[in-house]
């Protein structure tokens, strides 16, 4: 590990995480560690044992009779005191956080018990008698009700298909999986009956567009809902965004019980009733010319969003709309995008959000194109990549790729990923009797979401009628103490990414102070800090958006500091610089410590130069002008930045047991400037584990009645360190001038690419058996069945 | 009885087991923690001997090999060898080793002491002939002199319960072999005889249940694979 050179700018250096000291010592403070208010009681959620059932009478009398139980929230209470969450699109019915008359997935909340402790609450939950009338569940996405249905055409896809020399088509199924954060959902809610206000401590991390939705569900104005999020959240990868749906329920429990109420989900609840990535069926076709160039694509996308169209769904369909063509210069597209209800739990954000689903289809299809026209997987990609000179590149769907050299990325991938070595190792394994394969994927990694993309779920006519949607805004509040210490407040609610570290690097560089002088607080309190609906952690937005807001805040505070120092030093502000904890006249030794400058503002504002505000605190924001609501032709720039990611890998399959092992993986990135290579590489390794999970291990599975089969880590298999391959990471260190931070996100790309790359390698390994991997996860049992159904001549 | 708690605590957490009385054995380490070689070649493993300690003691290499496949080190630090037999998971490596090595469990209650052969003890998945008032004080294993052993299994991830596994042994002359198969039937089962054809017999005897990690036919196929591989690794020409 290279060392940090304190004489150089800290941004770009492998600075160690300031968070680790507390986290590694077990001193992190998570929601379950907080006792923010006296008299907290504990909730247990009564959940439907049926995937689909009419909910009749709910009799809580036996539960209420148990000593220690103080309240039970029933569907009647919810009907009386809550409102359903607003659902963005027409076709779906309102989404209530509690099943009122119909339970639509096994695990759906039906009642909430409040008791003196969790133990009693769980005992009482067993005593709540619910009259269920089981109904037939719908589990097949092709049989489910379509609740969002849109058709898009970009360019002239019909002409492209008519002119094509080849038409390559296939269907692809991407599985439903999670990220299983270590810390599960946690909420403490206090209903203040006198004020008609709710205060909620939770590990919700945004997007804070949900704050108004929660307030509306509780029937209170937004300024009477205070959401507090501690600085420590034990992982999320998007999954915890779904905790918002439980907040009105626990607040209602507090309202009825008259005491503050805590609910901490256990692992079973997390696996059956939190949130999952969307499983997707895509019917895809490519129009290809004789040289293997893809002229057009048809994508018919069916997203199984589960039992409810829970906001922000159907966002999975649209998050990658601007980058629907990936790194390829495809000009004509026809897309059908449908969200379908089934009797499975609701879906939502999951690291890679929409990307792994998209690229699994696109990358498998590109390789099938290659085989059809006789090109190897490198050459077919090379022929289709967007040339570097076309950057910035506007995709047919409206994305504006800010920068990147995809052909160079491919070359770098082959070189740094040791393609030759992997092929040699594959061949050696094959000679030894193994089934080995090499696979690859090339993707575009969107970061810094423009929330406007969600509006594609509405037609241009529907959009025309109401308020437009757009935005990626983030703000940062930077304050200098009387003694010159610096405090930064950001509304990001990180879940372990290390925002405190990177934010401090940026501030330290900009103000010329040591990192230790910068205190970063990424916790959220919606009552006392600046935030907006796009605040939070999601869509890899820290590097492009949040870091840019911090840059702006630093610039604004710097200006104020320099104005004061100019007066003290009697030097023009333009000739001053911030270094070594003070302000210095460039090229001289005239300097004043920041402490002095801050002292003037705090203690002696009468001495301030005219026009300088007597406040060393600034709030600045960043929002890209590219974040616009979708245009009338349904184009949208769904993300502010687009990185390039390549993945290359080697798998080994045991010919007898069919067990698959990922032996090597190389991940090559162009993510603009790297703010902290240590953290960037950590993100890549974590994203690989997640992508590997989706490719080979993880799947939320259900039996034919819709009962969850993966209810503990015995059956829901996350890869451990022992399943991780030898990993090579390489950064191209490009640039982008679309955002002041010049950095793009990096935390999701590898988990978008890895499932496709691993599927490609497994297909290569099984090439002698004519197997094309079109569904995941792949594991020994499945491969054995594929090989054996083929041996027996079955389809 | 609470020993290492690595099976019982999850059962309690899931509210699948709701005992009215729970006896924690963990302060009896001095009395029940020992591992002793007995005259005649048997090994006596006390009820509180932890899996990891037995694995590292080198007391019996086949048991060490099997234990290395049980979960992860953190689990083996607490989990006990005897607890694994009492728990009677059909996929437990330790039960198969005990079956292969003519193991027996020493049971005590206020009614007295009895010794039950593991083959009789294991009555089905997670069920044994242990009476509610009985405490297992030790497991006795009787490795036949000079035999060599191999433990092989297939699991989706390292440390998972096996989809199919086998404890295989051959006598010094190579003419006699034993297989104890786990993870492929309601309880582990044993086959004895000359190595040739033994793996096929093992696969034919498998009664696996299918789940999302592997279907019935696949698991039966795996029994044959691991049995053949283990016997081959022992130098027999079974394959
Ligand atoms: C993540 C994980 C992975 C695992 N993987 C494996 C694996 O791959 N293979 C495997 O075999 N096991 C595995 N286990 C289980 C582990 O080996 C357990 O430790 C073992 O099965 C039970 O031993 P214990 O001492 O923990 O017993 P406990 O959990 O304390 O008890 C288990 C049962 O046995 C009874 N019992 C225990 N001791 C006695 C006694 N002396 N007298 C009477 N009754 C008794 C208890 O009452 C209880 O019913 C795993 C466990 C975990 C948590």
Per residue in B11-26, pLDDT tens? 999 999 999 999 999 9
Above 60 in pLDDT, residue A18?
A: yes
pLDDT value at residue A795: 42
pLDDT value at residue A790: 61
What separation in angstroms does the CA of B227 have from each of B5, B167, B193, B210, B220? Answer: 31, 8, 13, 19, 11
CATH number at residue A731: 3.30.365.10
Pocket test for ligand 1, best of B1, B114, B156 (most atoms within 8 A of CB): B1
pLDDT value at residue A253: 98
3-state DSSP helix/strand/coil percent for chain A, to nearest 5? 35, 25, 40
In terms of domains, do A487 and A606 share one?
yes
Has residue A751 been placed in a domain?
A: yes
Let me know: does A750 contact A729? Beta carbons within 8 Å: no
What separation in angstroms does the CA of A155 have from each of A159, A331, A630, B200? Answer: 9, 6, 17, 61
Ligand 1: does its nearest atom lie under 6 Å from the Cβ of B95? no
In terms of domains, do A419 and A517 share one?
no
B172 CB neighbour count, 10 Å cutoff: 11
Let me know: does A365 contact A173? Beta carbons within 8 Å: no
Above 80 in pLDDT, residue A794?
A: no
**Measured distance CA(B75)–CA(B54) in Å, rounded:** 13
In the structure encoding, which two tokens stand for residue A437, read together? 């394969």
Judged by a CB distance cut-off of 8 A, whether residue A567 touches chain B is no
In sequence order, the 6+-apart residues with CB closer than 8 A to the CB of A708 are A106, A107, A271, A272, A700, A701, A702
**Measured distance CA(A790)–CA(A33) in Å, rounded:** 55
**Residue range A655-695, pLDDT digits in tens:** 999 999 999 999 999 999 999 999 999 999 999 999 999 99
**Residue range A30-47, pLDDT digits in tens:** 999 999 999 999 999 999
In sequence order, the 6+-apart residues with CB closer than 8 A to the CB of B17 are B8, B11
pLDDT value at residue A467: 82
**Average per-residue pLDDT in chain A?**
96
In terms of domains, do A438 and A362 share one?
yes
Number of inter-chain CB pairs under 8 A, A vs B: 58
In terms of domains, do A243 and A283 share one?
no
Q: Quick one: pLDDT band at residue B168, thresholds 50, 70, 90? A: very high
**Measured distance CA(A401)–CA(B234) in Å, rounded:** 60
Q: Which residues of B touch A657 (CB under 8 A)?
A: 154, 222, 225-226
In sequence order, the 6+-apart residues with CB closer than 8 A to the CB of A669 are A445, A643, A644, A645, A646, A680, A684, A729, A730, A731, A732, A746, A749, A750
Has residue A461 been placed in a domain?
A: no
Give one DSSP letter per residue of B99-145, joined into a string.
HHTT-EEEEEETTEEEEEEHHHHEEETTEES--TT-EEEEEEE-PPT
Residue that is last in its domain, among A622, A638, A667: A622
**Measured distance CA(B208)–CA(B219) in Å, rounded:** 6
Judged by a CB distance cut-off of 8 A, whether residue B216 touches chain A is no
Structural domains of chain B sorted by starting position, each given as residue range(s) with its CATH number in brackets: 33-141 (3.30.465.10), 148-233 (3.30.390.50)
Pocket test for ligand 1, best of B7, B85, B90 (most atoms within 8 A of CB): B7
**DSSP character at residue A469:** -
In terms of domains, do A680 and A696 share one?
yes
Has residue A695 been placed in a domain?
A: yes
In terms of domains, do A598 and A508 share one?
yes
Has residue A425 been placed in a domain?
A: yes
**Measured distance CA(A72)–CA(A110) in Å, rounded:** 11
Ligand 1: does its nearest atom lie under 6 Å from the Cβ of B4? yes
pTM: 0.97
Has residue A537 been placed in a domain?
A: yes
Has residue A349 been placed in a domain?
A: yes
In the structure encoding, which two tokens stand for residue A225, read together? 């809902």
Let me know: does B21 contact B5? Beta carbons within 8 Å: no
Give the domain range for residue A787.
Answer: 279-387+402-452+629-791
In the sheet that A129-134 helps form, which strands lie side by side, from edge to edge? A102-103, A53-59, A129-134
Residue percentage of chain A with pLDDT more than 90: 96
Q: Rounded mean pLDDT of A370-393?
A: 98
**Measured distance CA(A305)–CA(A144) in Å, rounded:** 10
Show the 3-state SS of A16-57: CCCCHHHHHCCCCCCHHHCCCCCCCEEEEEEECCCCCEEEEE
**DSSP character at residue A397:** T
Q: Quick one: pLDDT band at residue B238, thresholds 50, 70, 90? A: low
Has residue A341 been placed in a domain?
A: yes
**Measured distance CA(A316)–CA(A358) in Å, rounded:** 10
Mutate to test the interface with B, among A780, A785, A787 (most CBs of B within 10 A): A780
In sequence order, the 6+-apart residues with CB closer than 8 A to the CB of B21 are none
In the structure encoding, which two tokens stand for residue B185, read together? 């039937």
**Measured distance CA(A78)–CA(A99) in Å, rounded:** 9
E strand or H helix at B54: helix B51-57
Q: Quick one: pLDDT band at residue A465, thresholds 50, 70, 90? A: confident
A781:B157 CB<8 A = no
Strand partners, A762: none
Q: Is A336 helix (H, G, I), strand (E, B) or coil?
A: strand
Residue B102 phi, psi (nearest 5): 50, 45
pLDDT value at residue A93: 82
Residue closest by Cα to atom 19 of ligand 1:
B79
Mutate to test the interface with B, among A118, A272, A656, A698 (most CBs of B within 10 A): A656
Q: Is the peptide bond before A103 cis (omega within 30 degrees of 0)?
A: no
Write down the ipTM of this complex: 0.95
Q: Which residues of A touch B160 (CB under 8 A)?
A: 714, 717
In terms of domains, do A759 and A671 share one?
yes
pLDDT value at residue A92: 79
Above 50 in pLDDT, residue B108?
A: yes
What separation in angstroms does the CA of B234 have from each of B147, B151, B158, B204, B239? Answer: 10, 10, 23, 21, 11
In terms of domains, do A413 and A496 share one?
no
In the sheet that B104-109 helps form, which strands lie side by side, from edge to edge? B35-37, B43-46, B135-141, B104-109, B112-117
Q: Is A566 helix (H, G, I), strand (E, B) or coil?
A: helix
Ligand 1: does its nearest atom lie under 6 Å from the Cβ of B88? no
| Alpha helices by DSSP H, A475-581 | 499-511, 547-569
Length of chain B: 239
Above 80 in pLDDT, residue B74?
A: yes
Q: Which residues of A touch B214 (CB under 8 A)?
A: 780-781, 784
| Alpha helices by DSSP H, A128-245 | 157-163, 210-218
**Measured distance CA(A464)–CA(A458) in Å, rounded:** 10
Give the residue from B217, B139, B223 showing the smallest Cα distance to B179: B223
**Measured distance CA(B156)–CA(B148) in Å, rounded:** 27
Above 80 in pLDDT, residue A230?
A: yes
Judged by a CB distance cut-off of 8 A, whether residue A720 touches chain B is yes
Ligand 1: does its nearest atom lie under 6 Å from the Cβ of B33? no
In terms of domains, do A116 and A251 share one?
yes
Residue A229 phi, psi (nearest 5): -125, 125
CA nearest to B7 within chain A = A714
Q: Rounded mean pLDDT of A241-251?
A: 98
**Measured distance CA(B143)–CA(B102) in Å, rounded:** 7
Residue A428 phi, psi (nearest 5): -65, -45
pLDDT value at residue A11: 98
> Closest ligand 1 atom to the C-alpha of B160?
8
Question: Looking up tokens 């600046």, which residue turns up?
Answer: A530
In terms of domains, do A247 and A312 share one?
no
Give the β-pairing of A474-480 and A617-622.
Answer: antiparallel
Residue that is last in its domain, among A622, A642, A664: A622
In terms of domains, do A566 and A660 share one?
no
Has residue A271 been placed in a domain?
A: no
Length of chain A: 795
Number of compact structural domains in chain A: 3
A32 CB neighbour count, 10 Å cutoff: 14
pLDDT value at residue A468: 83
Facing residue for A697 by CB, picked from B157, B161, B163: B157
Pocket test for ligand 1, best of B17, B55, B65, B70 (most atoms within 8 A of CB): B70
Give the residue from B41, B59, B67, B62 showing the smallest Cα distance to B142: B41
Above 70 in pLDDT, residue A1?
A: no
Q: Residues A142, A778, B65, CA angle at the centre, nearest 5°?
A: 145
CATH number at residue A114: 3.90.1170.50
Strand partners, A394: A400
| Alpha helices by DSSP H, A88-196 | 118-127, 157-163
In terms of domains, do A646 and A746 share one?
yes
| Alpha helices by DSSP H, A114-266 | 118-127, 157-163, 210-218, 247-257
Let me know: does B181 contact B164? Beta carbons within 8 Å: yes
Residue that is last in its domain, among A577, A598, A622: A622
Rounded to the nearest whole angstrom, what is the distance from the C-alpha of residue B10 to the centroid of ligand 1?
10
């Amino acid at each position: 590990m290279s060392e940090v050179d304190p004489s150089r700018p800290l941004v770009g250096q492998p600075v160690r995480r300031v968070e680790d000291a507390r986290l590694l010592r077990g001193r992190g403070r998570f929601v379950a560690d907080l006792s923010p208010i006296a008299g907290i009681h504990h909730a247990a959620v009564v959940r439907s044992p049926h995937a689909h059932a009419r909910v009749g009478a709910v009799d809580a009398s036996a539960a209420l009779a148990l000593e220690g139980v103080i309240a039970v929230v029933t569907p009647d209470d919810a009907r009386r005191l809550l409102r359903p969450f607003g659902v963005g699109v027409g076709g779906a019915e309102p989404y209530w956080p509690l099943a009122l008359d119909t339970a639509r997935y096994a695990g759906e909340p039906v009642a909430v018990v409040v008791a003196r402790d969790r133990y009693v609450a769980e005992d009482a939950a067993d005593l709540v008698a619910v009259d269920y009338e089981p109904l037939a569940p719908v589990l097949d996405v092709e049989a489910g009700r379509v609740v969002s249905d849109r058709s898009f055409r970009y360019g002239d896809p019909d002409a492209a298909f008519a002119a094509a020399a080849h038409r390559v088509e296939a269907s692809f199924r991407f599985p439903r999986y999670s990220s299983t954060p270590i810390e599960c959902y946690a909420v403490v809610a206090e209903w203040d009956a006198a004020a008609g206000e709710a205060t909620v401590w939770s590990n919700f991390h945004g997007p804070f567009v949900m704050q108004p939705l929660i307030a509306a569900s509780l029937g209170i104005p937004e300024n009477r809902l205070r959401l507090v999020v501690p600085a420590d959240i034990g992982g999320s990868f998007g999954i915890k965004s779904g905790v918002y749906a439980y907040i009105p329920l626990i607040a209602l429990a507090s309202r009825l019980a008259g005491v503050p109420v805590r609910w901490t989900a256990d692992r079973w609840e997390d696996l059956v009733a939190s949130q999952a990535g969307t499983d997707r069926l895509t019917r895809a076709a490519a129009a290809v010319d004789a040289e293997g160039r893809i002229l057009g694509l048809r994508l018919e996308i069916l997203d199984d969003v589960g039992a409810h169209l829970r906001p922000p769904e159907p966002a999975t369909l649209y998050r990658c709309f601007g980058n629907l063509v990936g790194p390829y210069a495809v000009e004509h597209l026809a897309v059908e995008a449908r969200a379908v209800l089934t009797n499975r739990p609701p879906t939502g954000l999951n690291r890679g959000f929409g990307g792994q689903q998209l690229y699994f289809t696109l990358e498998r299809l590109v390789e099938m194109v290659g085989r059809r026209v006789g090109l190897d997987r490198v050459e077919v990609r090379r022929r289709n990549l967007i040339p570097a000179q076309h950057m910035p590149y506007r995709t047919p769907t409206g994305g504006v790729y800010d920068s990147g050299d995809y052909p160079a990325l491919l070359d770098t991938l082959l070189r740094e990923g040791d393609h030759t070595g992997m092929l040699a190792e594959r061949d050696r394994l094959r000679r030894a009797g193994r089934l080995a394969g090499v696979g690859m994927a090339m993707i575009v990694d969107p970061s810094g979401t423009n929330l406007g993309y969600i509006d594609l779920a509405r037609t241009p006519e529907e959009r025309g009628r109401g308020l437009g949607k757009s935005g990626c805004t983030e703000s940062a509040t930077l304050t200098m103490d009387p003694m010159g210490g610096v405090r930064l407040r950001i509304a990001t609610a990180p879940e372990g990414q290390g925002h405190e570290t990177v934010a401090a690097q940026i501030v330290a560089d900009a103000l010329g102070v040591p990192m230790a002088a910068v205190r970063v607080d990424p916790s959220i309190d919606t009552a006392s800090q600046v935030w907006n609906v796009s605040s939070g952690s999601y869509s890899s937005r820290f590097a492009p958006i949040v870091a840019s807001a911090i840059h702006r805040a630093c610039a604004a505070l710097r200006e104020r500091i320099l104005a004061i120092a100019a007066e003290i030093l009697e030097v023009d502000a333009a000739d001053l610089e911030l270094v070594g904890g003070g302000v210095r006249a460039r090229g001289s030794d005239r300097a004043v410590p920041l402490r002095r400058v801050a002292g003037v503002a705090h203690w002696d504002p009468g001495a301030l130069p005219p026009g300088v505000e007597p406040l060393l605190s600034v709030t600045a924001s960043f929002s890209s002008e590219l974040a616009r609501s979708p245009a009338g032709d349904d184009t949208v720039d769904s993300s502010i930045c687009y990185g390039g990611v390549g993945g290359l890998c080697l798998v080994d399959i045991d010919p007898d047991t069919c067990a698959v092992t990922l032996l090597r993986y190389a991940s090559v990135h162009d993510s603009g400037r790297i703010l902290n290579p240590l953290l960037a590489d950590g993100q890549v390794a974590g994203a690989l584990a997640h992508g590997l999970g989706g490719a080979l291990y993880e799947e939320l599975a259900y039996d034919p009645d819709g009962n969850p089969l993966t209810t503990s880590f015995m059956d829901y298999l996350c890869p451990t360190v022992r399943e991780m391959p030898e990993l090579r990471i390489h950064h191209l260190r490009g640039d982008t001038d679309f955002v002041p931070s010049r950095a793009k996100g990096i935390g999701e790309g590898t988990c978008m690419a890895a499932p496709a790359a691993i599927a490609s390698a497994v297909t290569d390994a099984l090439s002698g058996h004519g197997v094309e991997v079109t569904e995941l996860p792949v594991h020994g049992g499945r491969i054995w069945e594929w090989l054996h159904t083929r041996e027996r001549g079955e389809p | 009885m609470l020993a290492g708690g690595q099976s019982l605590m999850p059962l309690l957490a899931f509210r699948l087991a709701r005992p009215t009385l729970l006896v924690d054995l963990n302060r009896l380490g001095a009395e029940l923690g020992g591992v002793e070689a007995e005259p005649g070649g048997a090994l006596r493993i006390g009820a509180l001997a932890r899996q990891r300690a037995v694995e590292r003691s080198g007391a019996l290499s086949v048991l060490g090999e099997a234990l290395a496949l049980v979960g992860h080190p953190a689990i083996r630090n607490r989990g006990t060898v005897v607890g694994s037999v009492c728990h009677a998971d059909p996929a437990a490596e330790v039960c198969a080793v005990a079956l292969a090595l003519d193991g027996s469990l020493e049971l005590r209650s206020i009614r007295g002491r009895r010794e039950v052969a593991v083959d009789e003890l294991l009555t089905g998945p997670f069920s044994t002939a242990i009476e509610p008032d009985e405490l297992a004080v030790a497991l006795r294993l009787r490795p036949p002199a000079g035999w060599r052993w191999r433990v092989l299994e297939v699991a989706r991830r390292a440390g998972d319960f096996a989809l199919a596994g086998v404890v295989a042994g051959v006598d010094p002359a190579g003419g006699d072999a034993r297989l104890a198969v786990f993870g492929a039937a309601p309880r582990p089962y044993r086959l004895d005889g000359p190595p040739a054809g033994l793996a096929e017999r093992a696969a034919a005897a498998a009664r696996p249940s299918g789940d999302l990690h592997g279907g019935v036919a696949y698991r039966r196929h795996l029994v044959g694979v691991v049995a053949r591989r283990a016997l081959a690794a022992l130098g027999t020409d079974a394959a």
